[in-house]
Every structure is written in structure tokens, then in C-alpha cells.
Structure 1
């Protein structure tokens, strides 16, 4: 059974908005708790809302301060090592796609040369075999 598709827009009903916030906050904190337990990762959450004067801090204010101080004490290079924004993610995706494209181009080039060789063996090719580089590449492929 699939989930209903959620549309992300402002909930106009104030009571429904508060209820949704409360449920989602509880779900987020539960996931964070599972993450810290299962993966042994120090984590904290500070959630500011317009409904409360004070922010919600998980697991506790003292523990959150300890985790944040530990993070701030790291050198700048190590602190930002695993941080990403949308630009970095897109740049990595573009690099991966360019690598895949280049590999596919090389594969296509090899297949085209093999096809040209097969066609020439069947006397169906009008290729100019006077190009020394092409002949050397075909010789290499045959070997």
C-alpha cells in the first residue's frame, strides 16, 4: 500500500498547522534518536517555532551545547569537509555524468571501428583506408 502524495504548501488552518508541526517534529526527533543510537553519531536538534517562546532542544540543552562546541572546535577544513549545498551536489552529478558520457563515447568509437572493419571485410564499405592512424587502431583492435 503506497502513501498518499503530499503537496507542500502552507496549511491555512491554524489548528491543523500546529498539529502537523507537532507530529512532524516528533517524527524528526524520533529519526534523530534512531540515527544516534544505531550509528553512534553525536547529533542534536534545535527547533525554533513561532508558537513557542523558547526553542525545542534535543536531547538536552547541555548535550546540544557540548556537541556544538565540539563541532566549533574542529579546524575549518575538517568542519566543512562533509558539508554540501545544492551547488556542490549538482557539480558532483555533472562530473559523474561527464565521465559516463566520455566512457560511452569511447565505447561508441570502438564499436564504429569494429563495424567499419566488418563492413570492409564484406566489401560494403567505401571507407578511405589510406588514413594511417585508423589502420593502426584497427590493427591494434584485431590483435
Structure 2
């Protein structure tokens, strides 16, 4: 089970440098593992606080080659391969919004079916507290169910009586 790490600025200089080095080493290791597992090329550039030159993995020359190869991809390839954080979050929000809408529709349908069930079992008092929107939904659901029943009955009658 992964540990949750609280992300906050570490005020003590030596502690901050030690943790930076430890996490940088882990990041480099993960980049190497990713390259091996996916049979691809990876490079990492990390700018350390107070240093002009970045830490580069696997080496400066290899990183330049990988970045040049990436930049030489056609525009469509670049767009296909790369996604910035804003577009990722936007797509994720759209996907979650679609899930919310679907769940809301399913919930409303279940509520309407429940109301119809209570009405059919002799409890018309459930209609008393409903607003006009809820009554319209109940009416619509009744129409849909009646249409479905009518279609099934027509299908059964079109096939004729079962042969015995």
C-alpha cells in the first residue's frame, strides 16, 4: 500500500537537499525501468534550486538526441504523444461529468420506477408530494412502458399461436 506524502516546502536546507537527492535517484531509476519495460527511450531533466545546469538522465548527449527526435516528429505525432496538464485535467473532468450525468439519469429512472411500483400496488398517495417535473417524468415513464408492452404484444400476436 503506497504511503501518502504530504507535499510542502522543507525549510531545513540539509534535509531538503537530502530528500531531493533521494527522490531524484528514485525518479531516475523509474525512468530507466520505464525505458526497459516499454522498450523505449526516456530522458529526465531536473532543475535543482540554485543550480544553473539541470540534472540529466541518462546522459546529456542521449537526452539531447531523444529530445531532438521528439521535436522532429510531425505535428500530428507530437499532439498524439504529448498532453499538457490542462488538457489532461479537462478531459478527465469531461469524463467524470459524463459519469455523473449517467448516474443521475439512472438514479432518476430508479426513483420513477419505484414511484410507479408503489402506485401499481395501490398507494396513489405518493403522487401528492410530487412537483410538476416529477409528475411529468412519471407520465413519460408510463408512456414508455406502455409502448414497450404494446410492441411486445404485437410481436407475440404476429407470430401466431404456438404450435403444439
1:137 aligns with 2:144: yes
Query: What secondary structure, in the 3-state scheme, does the structure 2 residue paired with 1:57 have?
Result: strand
Aligned to 1:39: 38
DSSP-derived class of the 1:16 partner: helix
Is 1:122 the counterpart of 2:121? The answer is: yes
Q: Quick check: 1:89 aligned with 2:88? A: yes
Q: Which structure has the larger Rg?
A: 2
Q: TM-score, normalization: structure 2?
A: 0.66
Whole-Å separation in 1 of the counterparts to 2:53 and 2:142: 77
Q: Report the secondary structure of 1:81's partner residue.
A: helix
Contact 1:113 1:138 (C-alpha < 8 Å) held by counterparts: no
Q: Would you tell me which structure has more helix in proportion to its own residues?
A: 2
TM-superposed deviation, 1:69: 0.9
Separation of aligned partners in 2, 1:112 and 1:80: 44
After TM superposition, give the deviation of residue 30 of structure 1 in Å: 0.9
Check the 8 A contact 1:44/1:59 in 2, yes or no: yes
* 1:57-136 equivalences in 2 (<5 Å): 57-125=56-124, 133-136=140-143
SS in 2 for 1:20: helix
Q: CA deviation at 1:134?
A: 4.8
**Cα deviations by residue, 1:114-139 (Å, 9 ceiling, x for unpaired):** 334323322322668xx985543121
Aligned residue pair count: 140
**Cα offset, 1:63, TM superposition:** 1.3
Change (3 A) 1:82 1:140: farther
- What is the root-mean-square deviation in Å for CA atoms of aligned residues? 3.1
**Structure 1 residue 74 displacement after superposition:** 0.9
